Amino acid sequence: MLIDNISIAIVGGGPAGLTLARLLQLKNANVKVFERDFNKETRVQGSPLDMHEDSGLAALRKADLLEEFKKTYRPGADKTLIMNEQAEILFSDHDTKPEEDFGAEHFRPEIDRGPLRNMLLESLQPDTVVWDSHCISMEPQNEGWILHFKNGTSAYADLVIASDGAHSKIRPYLTDSKPIYSGVIMLEGMVSKEHAPNINALINGGKIMAFGNSKNILMGQKGNGDLGFYASFKADENWAANSRLNFSDNTAVFQWFKTEYPEWNKVWYELFENATTPFIPRPIYAMPLDQNWESKSNLTLMGDAAHVMPPFAGEGANMAMLDALELSEHLTDDRYSTLQEALSHYEINMRKRAAAATKESLDNGERMHSATALATMLEFFTGHVI
């Protein structure tokens, strides 16, 4: 195989990087994952992930981890409420959605990021992940690269695979493509269920999507009961700095919410009054739909490093894990005579499907922040014009 007798460095230990490491180790590859987190105990941030049948779940099947996933995912966490700004429930699938339906096209089981990472880590050979390895630069050496890390260490690899996120330090060595601002800010907060009893009773372990006045509140419940939520709205890219908000001050952010979401019911107040600070403003970016580059024999991209996209179609992690699946197959396919040929075929297909998913996400983001967002989302979920 093409990967026989070469060293492979995966930069970034998110779902895609760890999935790829697992798939390559099943093919006896010499692979290391360089992860910036200090150790495996570092808390994994972010909302739960929903796995799709033809991407995330397909990768887990190939990695022989589906049965382990079934022990770890959260049945019922994909159940959804669609609400208006007055907290009136206009759609619910809580009583109709099956808790388990693996193999069905539209079944999207959810898993918290921490348990997913732990499952993938436990599937790897000991010492596969090199912690506290924040890659800041690299340089060519022989047929490969020397990677330099923030902690002062370095490492050599014949093949480098960048999985280090939207602000990848590796991407510029392959392409000058840069993320473009989508026009949407998502202000992330977290609150314990005890401090948001009314919302906790509504969400009931699932998800809430609330729409009103071209703004959203999107939220899901984590396995420990905490409620992760986002106030999502159109704003200037530099909104966080220009707002002069202290995102560690609940009172200030709560006052901002009351001012900017004036039509919204007071039931939402408990999220902002009682949140665990700091809030995190997240400008949402996407890669250009027409990005292209000339393939190399010793470097490629995957996940957000290749195609960061808005979260409005639930495709980000799924596309990244599909990258891992397809890249592993290309690297172990004897039809290709060189690494550059294999990587070129992978990248052409990856860019095409990522562009389609990005466009879907961007289009959904526009719909979700329009004046008709509520009616549009109800039509999507019910199949009926409201």
Q: By CB neighbour count within 10 A (0-12 exposed, 13-18 middle, 19+ buried), where does 69 fall?
A: buried
Cα four-point dihedral sign 178, 280, 190, 201? negative
Q: Quick one: DSSP state of residue 261?
A: S
226 annotated to bind ligand: no
In this structure, what token pair is assigned to residue 199? 């919302």
Phi, psi of 38 (to 5 degrees): -65, -40
The owner of tokens 């990848």 is 168
Number of helices (H), then strands (E), in the chain: 12, 17
Distance from C-alpha of 256 to C-alpha of 260, rounded to nearest angstrom: 6
304 annotated to bind ligand: yes
43 annotated to bind ligand: yes
Q: Quick one: DSSP state of residue 214?
A: T
334 annotated to bind ligand: no
The answer to whether the CB of 15 falls within 8 A of the CB of 320 is yes
Phi, psi of 363 (to 5 degrees): -60, -40
Pairing of strands 154-157, 144-149: antiparallel
- Our CA angle for 307, 358, 234, nearest 5°, is 110
The number of beta carbons lying within 10 Å of the beta carbon of residue 376 is 18
The answer to whether the CB of 164 falls within 8 A of the CB of 136 is no
Residues belonging to the binding site for NADPH are: 43
Residues belonging to the binding site are: 43, 50, 113, 304
Residues belonging to the binding site for FAD are: 50, 113, 304
